[in-house]
Structure 1
Amino acid sequence: MKRVIIIIVVIAAALAAIALVLKNNKKKNDAKTAFIAEGGGAVAVRVATVEKKVVDLDFNANGNFAANQELNFLSENAGRVSAIYVKEGDRVSKGQVLARVDAEIINTDRETAEAAYQNALKDEARYQSSYQTGGVTQQQLDQAKLATRNAQLRLQASKRRLNDASIKSPINGIVNKKYIEVGAFVTAQGTQLFELVDVSKLKLKVNVNEAQVANLKLGDRIDIKSNIFPTEKFSGKITFIAPKADATLNFPIEIEVANNTKNSLKAGMYGTAVFNFPQQAPSILIPRTSFVGSVSSNQVFVLDKASNTAKVRNVVSGRILGDNVEILDGLAAGETVITSGQINLADGTAVSIVK
């Protein structure tokens, strides 16, 4: 019995849903009928006048400043930190010694490698002399030369490790963070030592849409504003334009910005890129909804005022500028295009303008 009741309830709900859909469809059909009836038998349409306007391409885009160079500096040798010569906030130059690792063990390795290399040289000289008198074979001489070469490479590696005991800055910048203290042990696997940041130049990262990116190119000079320093003037140039849109259909842009002498701008601050373009020549513009189907169809209906009929017109479309489309050929200023009701039109259909 319970199962029968459930089935009846489900059927009743389905019938109610069908009734609601039919009622909504009737409302839509009544609205369409009323719309057409406004035209007194002709197809009711809305229209717009074709205008020639100056296109303003200027726009602003907001983004964040990022450091031109940012480096998490890691250790290359194992050892105990014996000295640190900088603190957080210090400005450092490329090649400047930041800290030193105890080099006693590393120096011992270098001395051992040096001794092994000198012995290999002597062995090679003896084998060379013996080879000339027939005392050793060519193969034995080649092995002696190989041993000398391997000993030389080990010596070079030990000298490099000894040199790396003095930890030097690889870039010009500022010590943003210091992760070590005197006495700490660092490993050859890469203990984090310092975070170095160069803010003498920054990158402003912004996003622009497809219409805006079409007018940009690498090297363009851009004015930059910062709300934190409203009286300061900054400028930059475009160094990167993404070849592919992101998930939001915008294109990431990077602008290299020269900081002032005080390095006022900091990585992570907000900035505004001001894109200014030369004044454009006036263009023919029509609403985007004027096109039959889509902009790519390059067809519109033009109102023939003498006969109050719609005429198909082929046009050549240009840039899409917001809700308007630039027309390169096919229309003249002052003509009237139909912006709605095209689905009910054919060439020569009588129309009635709905205001």
Structure 2
Amino acid sequence: MKPFVLLALCTAITATLSGCSQDPSAAPEAPRAVKLEKVGAHGDSLRQFTATVRQQDRVDAAFENGGRIAAVLVDVGDRFHKGQLLARLDAETLRLRVQQAEANVRSANAQVSEKRLQLQQQQALFEDGAASQLSLTNAAVGLESAQSQLQVAMSDRGLAQRAMRMAELRAPFDGSVTAKRYQAHDDVAAGAAVLQLEGSTGLQVVANLPDALARTLAPGELMQAESAGRPISLKVRSVSARVDSAATVEVLLDVAGDASGLRSGESLLLTPESASAAHIAVPLSAVLLAADGKNASVFVYDPKKGTLMRRQVALGDVEGDRVGVKIGLKAGEQIVTAGTAFLTNGQRVVPFRSASRLGAEVQS
């Protein structure tokens, strides 16, 4: 019986080893999870931009000269009229400077009178032969120097008087206070904003748009915007000639329709009339560039087959972290937006679902 037992054990061991040595690559590969985006389903794909409402007249009100603030006569939200006194500096030191400057002018005037008399005396002596040409010349130079000193003293007096006038901060237009930076008894430097003021003449809207889009805009062109779901018509006033570091251009717009309910600082969702909903823009991470840097492609997901198809596209302008697609995609298709360098044409995939989303599905 022992030979038969040994033979059975050897056969079982051989079968086990054979099963362990099978090539694991023969097992079907699990579909890879990929992050998808539906073309045309996002605000960026629809070319919508954020704009900000602001008043046409606005200023950071500051004193021309520094000093200690004696009083701030308005607070945030207060309305004011053009020319109204808003704040003032302690004027005691300024008054003393004006008095000093006026005294210097009087002294300089006296010097001019004295030097003029000396010149007249030297002129008479010179004509009588009792004074030399050098003495006459020195007297003339002395009068000229005294007159120059008088001009300096008068300029100093003018500056002191101006500083006295500018110690009062007055409203440059009708409007309201939006911010208060300093209180009474604070020391403030020259040019430091004490109050932020906004006018009441009218609202305007400012938006930073991609350079490629801004080039297509012209004064008078209409745009549509939304505020809390309410449509608002805007009209282009001007387009800046400068492109900033983010490749955007500042565009100013006027409210063409009813502006009631809009507040300064409010954000609007802006849709240019020239940018139809058919425009497509995709994330830069979704695009595969060929070695020549010209040809580009994306991976399109087929939900019926669960596979990917690599498709060539014609690119448009870059808009922030997205790029326009002129040809090759249509609204409603799904494209892969991450990890495209590791995918292949025809590969089986499944849509990526975040942990929070999976948890919600389990609970439901």
Structure 1 position 257 matched with structure 2 position 254: yes
Residue of structure 2 equivalent to 1:145 = 147
Give the distance between the partners of 2:265 and 2:197, measured in 1 at CA.
15
CA gap of 1:255–1:201, structure 2 versus 1, over 3 A, is same
- Partner AA of 1:107 in structure 2: R
CA gap of 1:241–1:195, structure 2 versus 1, over 3 A, is closer
Q: Answer whether contact 1:70 1:195 (CA < 8 A) is retained.
A: yes
Equivalent of residue 75 in structure 1, options 45, 63, 66 = 63
Q: Answer whether contact 1:246 1:252 (CA < 8 A) is retained.
A: no
CA gap of 1:261–1:87, structure 2 versus 1, over 3 A, is farther
Give the distance between the partners of 2:170 and 2:190, measured in 1 at CA.
18
Alignment gaps of 5+ in structure 2? 1-45, 123-135, 277-291, 296-315, 318-323, 329-364
CA gap of 1:240–1:186, structure 2 versus 1, over 3 A, is same
Q: Answer whether contact 1:66 1:267 (CA < 8 A) is retained.
A: yes
Residue of structure 2 equivalent to 1:97 = 85
The SS at the match of 2:88 is: strand
| Structure number with bigger Rg | 2
**Alpha-carbon RMSD:** 4.2
The SS at the match of 1:226 is: strand
- 1:241-280 matches, within 5 Å, as 241-244=240-243, 246-247=245-246, 250-258=247-255, 264-276=261-273
CA gap of 1:94–1:119, structure 2 versus 1, over 3 A, is same
Q: Answer whether contact 1:75 1:189 (CA < 8 A) is retained.
A: yes
- Partner AA of 2:251 in structure 1: E
Structure 1 position 223 matched with structure 2 position 235: no
Residue of structure 2 equivalent to 1:114 = 102
CA gap of 1:130–1:84, structure 2 versus 1, over 3 A, is same
Give the distance between the partners of 1:324 and 1:262, measured in 2 at CA.
39
Q: CA deviation at 1:93?
A: 4.1
Q: CA deviation at 1:323?
A: 2.5
- 1:279-290 matches, within 5 Å, as none
Give the distance between the partners of 1:75 and 1:176, measured in 2 at CA.
17
- Partner AA of 1:257 in structure 2: D
Q: CA deviation at 1:258?
A: 4.4
Equivalent of residue 323 in structure 1, options 305, 323, 326 = 326
- Partner AA of 1:256 in structure 2: L
Q: Give TM-score, length-normalised by structure 1.
A: 0.53
Give the distance between the partners of 1:114 and 1:295, measured in 2 at CA.
76
CA gap of 1:229–1:95, structure 2 versus 1, over 3 A, is farther
Q: Answer whether contact 1:66 1:205 (CA < 8 A) is retained.
A: no
The SS at the match of 1:323 is: strand
Structure 1 position 61 matched with structure 2 position 48: yes
Q: Answer whether contact 1:222 1:274 (CA < 8 A) is retained.
A: no
Q: Answer whether contact 1:60 1:272 (CA < 8 A) is retained.
A: no
Residue of structure 1 equivalent to 2:334 = none
Q: Answer whether contact 1:72 1:192 (CA < 8 A) is retained.
A: yes
Q: CA deviation at 1:130?
A: 2.5
The SS at the match of 1:225 is: strand
Q: For 1:215-262, what per-residue CA distance to the aligned partner results, in whole angstroms no more than 9, with x for missing partners?
A: 223x2333342323716x442324224554754xx5324123249897
Give the distance between the partners of 1:70 and 1:192, measured in 2 at CA.
12
CA gap of 1:109–1:122, structure 2 versus 1, over 3 A, is same
Q: For 1:58-115, what per-residue CA distance to the aligned partner results, in whole angstroms no more than 9, with x for missing partners?
A: x753223153454333333444433332221123344331012221221121122112
- Partner AA of 1:130 in structure 2: Q
Q: Answer whether contact 2:240 2:250 (CA < 8 A) is retained.
A: yes
The SS at the match of 1:268 is: coil
Residue of structure 2 equivalent to 1:299 = none
Give the distance between the partners of 2:259 and 2:91, measured in 1 at CA.
38
CA gap of 1:61–1:130, structure 2 versus 1, over 3 A, is farther
Q: For 1:178-236, what per-residue CA distance to the aligned partner results, in whole angstroms no more than 9, with x for missing partners?
A: 22333x132444554112234733332132362x344223x2333342323716x4423
Residue of structure 2 equivalent to 1:45 = none
Q: Answer whether contact 2:61 2:169 (CA < 8 A) is retained.
A: no
Residue of structure 2 equivalent to 1:237 = 236
Residue of structure 2 equivalent to 1:204 = 206
CA gap of 1:161–1:260, structure 2 versus 1, over 3 A, is farther
CA gap of 1:163–1:91, structure 2 versus 1, over 3 A, is same
